[in-house]
Amino acid sequence: MGYPGDQGQPGGWPPRQPPHEPYGPGAEAPPYGRDGDQAPFTPRDDPFAPRDEGPGAVPPGGPDGRFDDDRFGNPYGDSYGHPEAVPSGGPERSGKGRRTPLVIGAAAVAGLVLIGGGIGLSSMLKDDSKPDAEKSRAAATPTPTPSPTQPVLAPVKLKSRTTDPKPLTLKEVFGKGKFKAHGHNYVRTAVNAKKSCASVVGGRTLETTLKQGRCTQALRATYALTGGQLIGTVGVFNLETEAAAKKAVKAAAAKDAFLQALPGKGVSRTNGRGEALGTSQARGHYLLMTWVQRPDGKKIPAKHHAAVRVFGAEMVKGSNLALALNYRETEGEPLQR
């Protein structure tokens, strides 16, 4: 989704909805299983980690100029929102229990892979009842020596629609219906494209900022782990300039701002209901946002937020969105496949 960053300040529901009751029993239940406890919950009292700009990403393309899916750095900029009620009117905003995303740390992709320290996405998806065993296993694994980073190339051709005039297409940015990453299988369950950008986000300031930034496209795709542990939506917005996109990222930090989750088939039919985590980032004149949650909508413990970040990063990378923007950045034209 949606998929934040209020710099450690707790967020809230959009002002036009009343808050839900506090968390019900079962808040510490296993985060990725179904324990039968369907009690509703409301925003967490403790703020999440502050935003982290993270190290710069490697330049797009390999040494021989070829593109691959591993060359998209720093996929998340600012985080946004804290969960509150989402408007119930209209087809896009409907869904009982929908909430604005909680804050989640905005580390760079290299950190999200979480190879160092022996922690990966798989360990984050295991039962909450075994924290000591997980910590011991992580401590026993030596941390690999990091590779030197390469200088970041400025997205010159993505500065504005003047240098990048051709519209995005769903096939271009979300062309992969299935992909595998770190031993987990992802499947696309829904896609959607709209010209009205403000209609697929929440938050009055964000809606206004997208209109002022002359946003002409809002493309979204929903993905789910085939194991059913996590579901989420990734969205990309086409604004007129990079400055407008950066302004939108700041607006996305408001406590009532979020990406409208796109419900899909199967396990993702509940997407948009419950507690979610999300991020926002400017990529040239594009705004990228995510919404990630459990299918049952229950609270995601803080120790599993890293797994959520991995999921969000893989949606951006594995969907083909990262590669498509990298290609436009260097070639000045859409990626054709």
Which sequence spans correspond to the domains of the chain? 1-21+40-112+158-332
Tell me the C-alpha distance between 174 and 235, whole Å: 10
pLDDT tier at 14, thresholds 50, 70, 90: very low
Question: Residue 192: in which H helix or E strand, if any?
Answer: strand 184-194
Distances (CA, A) of 188 to 8, 62, 281: 32, 27, 22
Mean pLDDT across 290-305: 94
CA-nearest of 243, 250, 246, 228 to 311 is: 228
- Token pair, residue 303, equals 């120790």
Where would I find the H helices in the chain?
109-112, 121-124, 131-140, 170-173, 204-212, 242-251, 305-318, 321-331
| Structure confidence at residue 133 (pLDDT) | 52
| Structure confidence at residue 156 (pLDDT) | 77
- Token pair, residue 237, equals 């917005």
pLDDT per residue as tens digits for the range 312-334: 999 999 999 999 999 999 988 89
| Structure confidence at residue 336 (pLDDT) | 81
CA-nearest of 325, 271, 327, 335 to 75 is: 325
pTM of the entire structure?
0.60
Tell me the C-alpha distance between 161 and 101, whole Å: 30
pLDDT per residue as tens digits for the range 265-291: 999 999 999 999 999 999 999 999 999
- Beta strand residue intervals within 195-272, DSSP E: 201-202, 217-225, 231-238, 258-259
User: Residue 146 pLDDT > 70, yes or no?
Assistant: no
- Token pair, residue 306, equals 């890293």
pLDDT per residue as tens digits for the range 192-208: 999 999 999 999 999 99
Other CB atoms within 10 A of residue 64 CB: 5
Taking CA 234 as the corner, what is the angle to CA 200 and CA 205, rounded to the nearest 5 degrees?
Answer: 40
